[in-house]
């Protein structure tokens, strides 16, 4: 009887401890999670005329995403279009590959692009980091190709939208704006790696900025994503 009581107390302690830890993580104000308010104004103040590449996220036909492939597990982001040719092998199972159209600041479709994401070694739930290494390759007919690299953190997206979706099948609608970029530059920006054509020899920095308007498990995200690119003079 004493053994049973102690066991129950132990299990209760473990569960309570885990719950407290999860609650603490959820509410802890990790400094990087406030970067939208901190870094975005600095970027906007310093970037006089950034080059804008924008695409619309939607599960309707007005979206600009052509293809989205992950490992398929967890199935929080459905493949687009549905496919069984997924990134399932051990070395790529944390990957994401996106093909999309890109618009300029006026909403005109001007380019095609791919985004490749892979898991980042700096991801730690205990540190509030859900990170990826991310490439953007934008190719604009008549202009050339642009190669971009950034580190992303999706901690807030994960805890506010993905986790509730996974655990409770919870949907959300509203307006949530977020700076996805978290480096690798010390100022928090991503890097312009290089380019071709008009972009040949260019260096500079960029951010990926998102406005999420609808998150529903099993459906595509709805909202807007922007790459704001600043070239060195």
Partner 1 sequence: MQTAKSWVVAVGLAALVLPVGAIAQANNIPAYSQPAPGEKVLSFFGILPDHGVALTTGGKMPLRTGPEGIALFTEPALNNTLALIMKLADENGNVVGFASELEIFPGDPAAAEISWDTAWTLSIPGRGMIFLHQIEHSGGLGPNIVDPTMKSGKNWVGDWTVTTTVGPLPSGRGRIVGGSGEFANIKGSFVEIDRLTGFTVDGVMFGKLEIRLFLE
User: Hey, which residues between 153 and 212 contact partner 1 (CB under 8 A)?
Assistant: 184, 191, 193-197
Residue 44 neighbours by CB under 8 Å, 6+ apart: none
Q: Which two tokens stand for residue 16?
A: 């309570």
Kindly tell me which residue out of 72, 122, 147, 185 binds partner 1, with binding defined by CB under 8 A. 147
Nearest approach, Cβ of residue 173 and partner 1 (Å) = 25
Q: Which one among 7, 109, 125, 198 touches partner 1, defined by CB under 8 A?
A: 109
CB closer to partner 1 out of 33 and 112 = 112
Among 76, 116, 163, 166, binds partner 1 (CB under 8 A): 116
Which of 39, 40, 111, 229 touches partner 1 (CB under 8 A)? 111
Cβ atoms of 215 and 171 within 8 Å: the answer is: yes
- Among 106, 141, 174, 186, which residue sits at the site for partner 1 (rule: CB under 8 A)? 141
The reply to whether 85 sits near partner 1 by the rule CB under 8 A is yes
CA 215 – CA 105 distance, rounded (Å):
25
DSSP annotation string for the chain:
-HHHHHHHHHHHHHHHHHHHHHHHHHH---GGGGHHHHHHHHHHHH-SS-EEEEEEE-SSTT--EEEEE----STTS--BS--S----STTTTT-EEEEEEEE-TTS-EEEEEEEEEEE-TT-BGGGTB-EEEEEEEEEETTTEEEEEEEEEE-HHHIIIIIHHHHHH---EEEEEEEE-B--SSTTS-EEEEEESGGGTT--EEEEEEEEEEEE-TTS--EEEEEEEEEE--
* Beta bridge partners of residue 52, listed in sequence order: 228
> Applying CB under 8 A, which of residues 6, 7, 23, 83 lies at the interface with partner 1?
83
For residue 125, the minimal CB distance to partner 1 (Å) is: 19
Question: Closest CB to partner 1 among 40 and 138?
Answer: 138
> By CB under 8 A, what part of segment 42-81 binds partner 1?
66-67, 69, 79, 81
Range in contact with partner 1 (rule: CB under 8 A) among 5-13, 30-38, 82-90, 170-178 = 82-90
Task: Tell which one of 1, 4, 89, 168 touches partner 1 (CB under 8 A).
Answer: 89
Interacting residue ranges for partner 1, rule: CB under 8 A:
66-67, 69, 79, 81-83, 85-87, 89, 91-92, 94-95, 97, 99, 101, 108-114, 116-119, 121, 133, 135, 137, 139, 141-142, 144-145, 147, 149, 184, 191, 193-197
């Amino acid at each position: 009887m004493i053994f049973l009581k102690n066991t129950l107390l132990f299990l209760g302690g473990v569960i309570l401890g885990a719950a407290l830890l999860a609650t603490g993580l959820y509410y802890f104000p990790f400094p990087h999670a406030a970067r939208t308010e901190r870094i975005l104004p600095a970027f906007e103040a310093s970037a006089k005329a950034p080059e804008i590449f924008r695409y619309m996220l939607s599960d309707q036909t007005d979206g600009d995403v052509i293809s989205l492939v992950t490992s398929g597990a967890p199935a929080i982001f459905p493949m687009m279009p549905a496919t069984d040719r997924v990134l399932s092998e051990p070395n790529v199972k944390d990957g994401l590959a996106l093909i999309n159209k890109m618009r300029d600041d006026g909403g005109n479709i001007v380019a095609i692009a791919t985004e490749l994401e892979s898991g980042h070694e700096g991801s730690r739930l205990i540190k509030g980091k859900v990170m990826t290494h991310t490439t953007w390759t934008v190719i604009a007919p008549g202009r050339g190709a642009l190669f971009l690299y950034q580190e992303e953190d999706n901690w807030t997206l994960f805890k506010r939208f993905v986790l509730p979706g996974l655990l409770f099948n919870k949907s959300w609608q509203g307006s949530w704006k977020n700076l996805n970029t978290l480096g690798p530059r010390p100022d928090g920006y991503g890097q312009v790696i290089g380019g071709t054509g008009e972009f040949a020899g260019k260096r500079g920095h960029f951010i990926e900025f998102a406005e999420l308007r609808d998150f529903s498990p099993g459906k595509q995200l709805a909202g807007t994503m922007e790459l704001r690119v600043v070239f060195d003079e």
